[in-house]
Amino acid sequence: MHDYVYPSIFLAYLMFFLCLAGAVFFLIRSRKDGYWGKESEDPKYRMLADDVVRKTESEREIQETSNAGNESCKRA
């Protein structure tokens, strides 16, 4: 009779170690890349500013297309 308890325990510890190693790796990498400094929030503000620019551009395009449609109705 074989004992299948040890392989499952080793697999569980291996998975735990891999998750822990990945978390520590990305924690160290994020520290090295500067995500914890004074400028850590800058990418968020750049993204929000880009969203505002995109929104105004798309609103302008919608307004231009609706104005073009209104002009063609007036001509007819």
Same domain, 47 and 65: yes
Same domain, 52 and 28: no
Same domain, 2 and 28: yes
Print the domain residue range for 53.
Answer: 41-76
For residue 40, give every residue at least 6 positions away whose Cβ sits within 8 Å of its Cβ, in sequence order, or none: 34
Q: What is the pLDDT of residues 9-48, one digit of tens each?
A: 999 999 999 999 999 999 999 887 777 777 777 777 878 7
Query: pTM for this one?
Result: 0.47
Same domain, 16 and 46: no
Same domain, 22 and 53: no
Contact 19, 26 (CB under 8 A): no
